[in-house]
Structure 1
């Protein structure tokens, strides 16, 4: 017997991550369900290439750099002589990751490509792969996307001539793939009076146009674009894109007018500025002072700040008092980005847990040791985790599908339809369905991915709890910290659950929202499988019946009670509604391409969520081989044992 040392004895083999576009069994199935075959063949190679690139050592080095060299204020906000000077400094890794995302068009694809109703699905499939490696750069990209969509709507509707040139310039920057031109955007709503409650906004905008004949300040030396005629002052409590080039913000204008939305460049050109080398002219913040940077539990590479505004110059978007309506366009996009980030983190977590299980052995009693990939208990745990992941992916991607239908209402979607087109709602129900899904999917998914990502971290044992910057591809501690924010920003779980109830009870649109959900559940039951080689037809009939019954119970509850009576139960109602929709989508998924793995996941989910009795599982295949197939895919090879799964 030889004693071990720091460099001898047993040393665990390094887990190897594989391209998730090919290796993620759920993602692989999801894209086949939601994208037409011809489109998937066309875009698949480029997405697969992205899946490979996001796992490169260069990317992981940039992640580590962005975490170690976190944003800071130069001189803590003052120059050497004590003069206030807000200069934000971000690290090289952060900048490189942002540039990578710009070049890959993580936002631009939705605006410079046209895949019809499937465009958003293609965009967010790519974001899903990028999320685990982007070190939070997709956060400002989310607001960039939302701002682009808002400005696009106003440009298409015919904005005021004075604003059109400014809006067009900003839109072109937001949708560029050239890192030297691309802008991100802030989204400033949150103040000390309340997070998602913007009615008490203390920021004030005053219409104060420059006098005729005066020199109007410009946003930059290169572009002859004037700063806006509105002067905006106030204090914003959270800004998660402090290094952006523009922002969309809320402010009050006149008493009784409510809240309005504004576009404002982050910087302005000052010809009197003198650089360290004596050169005259440069840009400075446009009436903005960075009060301090936030010290956060997670998303530490992301510069989040408190901002004081004094005379920030901007442009009114839309009509005075319509700010909440205008900002909702951005929120619909940023909430989708947040939810995609949550399942993206979970997808990466499962990928790491799978890779670890292939190289790690554990005791199995009587001196036996088994690779975790052949350990019955561990594989059942990972299979159940994969089932929950797949369930949430169904809800998220159906929401993306509804978003694509809403944004491209006139699109035919091409000659070939995806299997999910069986659940394409009538045109009059698309907007009501999206109104429900936009709050519901984030409330449910972002809350439930947090314990799921923790389970992935736990699956690595003690090494999972370590901040593995030396092996960044295994750093689930970082991913867990960052995943926790999903249930908080862009509306907490309770805020969004309350919003879901408001949608269902809305005096003008509520009946249509209920009708839209009713259509989805009914239609899913019509296309669901009648049976399969491994499951009795009676089981699927029962599943369809219980799905309909559960929805009818919720519908009766919503229709029989007032909004005030429903509010204390909003979280339970929202989560149950999410489970009904997921169960319905699972049935359609099984119908589109039956197989024992997806059938097992579907039935396990329905049993777990109390739609079916647990006794149904007793007569079904519950073998280790099935669990391995759910996690790794049918026919995959266990690199440790060489045995086919």
Structure 2
């Protein structure tokens, strides 16, 4: 009989995930466990089902039909099965609504759900993140009329009343420099604001609402003259005529996610607040959407490693399973250590976000969140690409074959380093955060996380690296160009130091529970090095770019 290789099977993403289970046990009060764990188990069931379903069918992209058979403009988008199921899964398991519940643990509970749902959702989590950001921005705006109108839909537990919200910021001329926005807001004869312009990148065009940046007519140039507007996209079952879908993007990855280029031709809009400083009004949603990005990146790592480990037990080569081959085992363990560090940092950010939002955070934690959020996002975004690429190698040639479902992991991972700010954009944002007292807040928190383990090898390495980062900042403080040129290395260094200290905290707690694995992850992670500082060399940069 011809040989047939067993395909990798997905372990139950909740029952088999010791990191998430330990986090829930350590960080959450016992009385909050029951409802959360029921939802996590249900989302794990869905993830397993979705993996099996995907392996038995051909992936497909959403389809845009712009005109019906009789010449009427319809801009109808046919979605994949997972996207059709999205409103029901998101509301049934409170994927979004839980983050806006009472108490400092709300965000931690929300992002535990996001972590389990993300890969199975086929990036339906992207518009969920946009909707979460919109809900946060609306709350911060104090615009009670819009809060009353939109929030019950955004946070609904009933799929029939649930709305998605997009973010329409990016334009052809702008990108990260949103000050170049060319969308104009004009008032009609009835005083209704209407938007006119083109948005180059809309990740939630199938939603019922959106937040959009536009320049009120007659205002000056630049970022300060932009205002933030709320729009609704649907008139009953039909798309409003002021919203025209030009095309769906043909992307490297996230194929199931319908990303569109759109024209706004008089779409009704309502300002969230003052008719200026719209980017400032966007700021409250950044901590939220960047945390979604980091959690989703970690979820992709978890999926890639889970499948690679399962396959290593199923695949035999040179007389024994791959898991027993020393170099293969070493590679998997290296991946696991990096992943556990990323998990620890990301979920600390999630917990901090909830504490800050509910007024439970100490003053230094408020400052710390401002720094850790871009650090977690930029580091996990790059790490997800590396982990998913390494995981594909673990499958050999099968990792390069489309109908195994494995190449999608790597293609999709590339989006994390781009969405919600590239690595360089976030490195500069981290540098701005360091202009305050966030470095002191980070150092204070690391001491707290290390607790009584300050004299171990790991603790000494973390402390020495933080001291080196402080020296680097002092050394280059007089030159903004040198600070910016080296900011990426500084950001990775600070992220790795924070992650290592959090691994140490988890390792100490787990050791008391009789589990030595987190401490082993810390040792392995430390051995990979924490210091990524670089000495900027403007002369060689100029020569290499000549």
Q: Give distance in 2, aligned partners of 1:320 and 1:73.
A: 34
TM-score for the superposition, normalised by structure 2 = 0.90
Number of the residue aligned with 2:20? 27
The question of 1:126 aligning with 2:51 is answered: no
Is 1:181 aligned to residue 161 of structure 2?
yes
Q: CA deviation at 1:65?
A: 6.7
Residue of structure 1 in register with 2:368 after alignment = 433
Q: Which residue of 2 aligns with 1:283?
A: 238
Which residue matches 1:603?
523
What is residue 574 of structure 1 aligned with on the other side? 491
- Indicate if the aligned counterparts of 1:60 and 1:133 stay in contact, CA closer than 8 A: no
What do the CA deviations read for 1:584-621 (whole angstroms, capped 9, x no partner)?
1122122222243222221121121157xxxxxxxxxx
Residue of structure 2 equivalent to 1:529: 453
Alignment of 1:613-624 (within 5 A): none
Aligned residues between the structures = 522
Q: What is the deviation of 1:518?
A: 2.0
Alignment of 1:2-401 (within 5 A): 8-40=1-33, 43-56=36-49, 60-61=52-53, 67-68=59-60, 70-74=61-65, 77-80=66-69, 84-111=73-100, 113-114=101-102, 116-154=103-141, 157=142, 159=143, 164-208=144-188, 210=190, 229-253=192-216, 254-255=219-220, 257-268=224-235, 283-363=238-318, 369-401=319-351
Q: Partner residue of 1:465?
A: 400
For residues 86 and 17 of structure 1, do their structure 2 counterparts lie closer, same or farther at Cα, with a shift above 3 Å needed? closer
Distance 1:181 1:287 in 2: 23
> Any idea what SS the aligned residue of 1:199 has?
helix
When the two chains are superposed, the root-mean-square deviation of aligned CA atoms in Å is: 2.3
**Using the alignment, how far apart are the partners of 2:372 and 2:58 within structure 1?**
34
CA distance in 2, matches of 1:49, 1:239: 31
Distance between the aligned counterparts of 1:16 and 1:283, measured in 2? 41
What whole-Å deviation, never above 9, does each CA across 1:131-183 have from its counterpart, x for those lacking one? Answer: 121111111111111111222333xx4x2xxxx33431211000012111101
**In the superposition, relative to structure 1, how do residues 327 and 65 fare at CA in structure 2: closer, same or farther (>3 Å)?**
farther
1:544 aligned to which of 431, 434, 459? 459
User: Deviation string for 1:75-114 (max 9, x for gaps)?
Assistant: xx33446565433332444212443223222101223x43
Asked which structure has the greater CA Rg, the reply is 1
In the other structure, the counterpart of 2:468 is 553
Contact residue 167 and residue 211 of structure 2 kept, 8 A: yes
Aligned to 2:507: 590
State the partner residue of 2:427. Answer: 497
Partners of 1:207 and 1:65 in 2: CA distance = 49
Check whether the contact 1:487–1:493 (CA below 8 A) recurs between aligned residues: yes
1:133 and 1:606 mapped to 2: Cα distance? 32
TM-score for the superposition, normalised by structure 1: 0.77
State the Cα distance separating 1:541 from its structure 2 match: 3.1
Alpha-carbon distance in 2 for matches of 1:542, 1:477 = 39
2:359 to 406, 409, 419: 409
Distance 1:400 1:286 in 2: 39
Displacement of 1:208 in angstroms is 3.4
Cα distance, 1:51 vs structure 2: 1.2
Q: Is the 8 A contact 1:21 1:27 kept in 2?
A: yes
Q: Flag the 1:84–1:335 CA change in 2: closer, same or farther, 3 A.
A: same
Q: Compare the two structures and name the one with the higher helix fraction.
A: 2
Q: Do 1:443 and 1:497's aligned partners in 2 also have CA atoms closer than 8 Å?
A: yes
CA apart distance, 1:20: 2.1
| Rounded Cα–Cα distance in structure 2 between residues aligned with 1:549 and 1:300 | 44
Q: How far apart are 1:382 and its partner, in Å? A: 1.0
SS in 2 for 1:296: coil
CA distance in 2 between counterparts of 1:304 and 1:233 reads 20
Relative to structure 1, the CA distance from residue 189 to residue 348 in structure 2 (aligned partners, 3 Å threshold; closer, same or farther) is same
Give the Cα separation in 2 of the matches to 1:97 and 1:167: 23
Match of 1:238, SS state, is strand
Offset at residue 42 of structure 1 (A)? 5.5
Contact 1:196 1:490 in 2 (8 A): no
Partners of 1:447 and 1:596 lie apart in 2 by 28
What is the rounded CA distance, in whole Å, between the counterparts of 2:10 and 2:500 in structure 1? 31
| DSSP-derived class of the 1:499 partner | helix
Paired residue secondary structure (1:23): coil
Higher relative contact order (CA 8 A, sep 6+): 1
- Deviation of 1:558 (Å): 2.6
